[in-house]
Amino acid sequence: MSEETPCTGPSPCTGPSPCTGPLDHNLLRACNKHFRAAAPDVPLGPAHPGAPPSPGRRRGPADSAAGTMRQPAVRLVWMGRVPYAELLALQERWLRRLQAESGTEALSGTEAGALLLCEPAGPVYTAGLRGGLTPEETARLRALGAEVRATGRGGLATFHGPGQLLCHPVLDLRHLGLRLRTHVAALEACAVRLCELQGLQGARARPPPYTGVWLGERKICAVGVRCGRHITSHGQALNCSTDLTWFEHIVPCGLVGTGVTSLSKELQRHVTVDEVLPSFLEAFKETYKCTLISEDGSN
């Protein structure tokens, strides 16, 4: 069975490159050919579609000795601006891999999974495990030119589209020493920290059913996850320069009387996904106490 949280609205490799230190806009491009933003002081490796890597070299005694002092590693996959379906497909491939490796032997490694990031290429409404859209509403939304999808995450209906940073961590929580509730709290903490780094000091998380990150009564980041056998999927959606009028056609996450907002609206300037990505990665590393590593071109 899978566990869910309400939405209020995302193998060993050979020669990983640690993603550590200050983030910089000239370096994360190497993670993926679509990348236009940046990150730390070490290039993130050759372009790669982001599929789970094939098994790499075997771990030796030196790895075991060093592993006790390493932070857990999370593989960074930036997809760029892509159709939402591509994110779901890649998420499914990572899920299958982690589920296949969820035995005792896998836990001896230091790699916890993948951080899948993208900006949706087009408007998409999604419904969670608790539904949120009737057949009539689905038809009406599709008539607006939007895609409508049922997903396996917790919660009700929300919107994804251009100008939004989607973050889907596919993680084995045991590697990170987390439980589902602390994973959700960590996702919220990442968004709060990102807002602080952008100069917004009033962002805060709220308890269910208001899961997510808020500025007053305006939600800026939705959170909805799924977790089964300690392995997470889906995640969060942060509004950067999202066209907020798309939210007017639904009751986001079933919360009547609340609003939505974006970084652009709050800061009164155009804030792109590329601009905030380095700050988000900084917040993710701080919150999850992990190292971000690159794809390896040989895999």
- Give, for 105, the enclosing helix (H) or strand (E): helix 104-107
Helices (H) then strands (E): counts for the chain: 8, 14
Task: Name the token pair of 68.
Answer: 């006790």
* Nearest CA-CA partner of 164 in 63, 280, 26: 280
- Cβ atoms 173, 181 nearer than 8 A: no
Task: Name the token pair of 198.
Answer: 């952008």
224-251: b (≥16 Cβ within 10 Å) or e? bbbbeebbbbbbbbbbbbbebebbebbb
Q: What CA–CA distance (Å, rounded) separates 212 from 184?
A: 9
Q: What CA–CA distance (Å, rounded) separates 240 from 229?
A: 32
Q: Could you confirm whether 253 is annotated as catalytic? A: yes
3-state secondary structure of 49: coil
Q: What CA–CA distance (Å, rounded) separates 66 from 224?
A: 35
* Nearest CA-CA partner of 188 in 1, 2, 10, 3: 10
Q: What CA–CA distance (Å, rounded) separates 270 from 106?
A: 43
Q: Which of 13, 227, 253, 290 is catalytic?
A: 253
What residues are labeled active site? Answer: 253
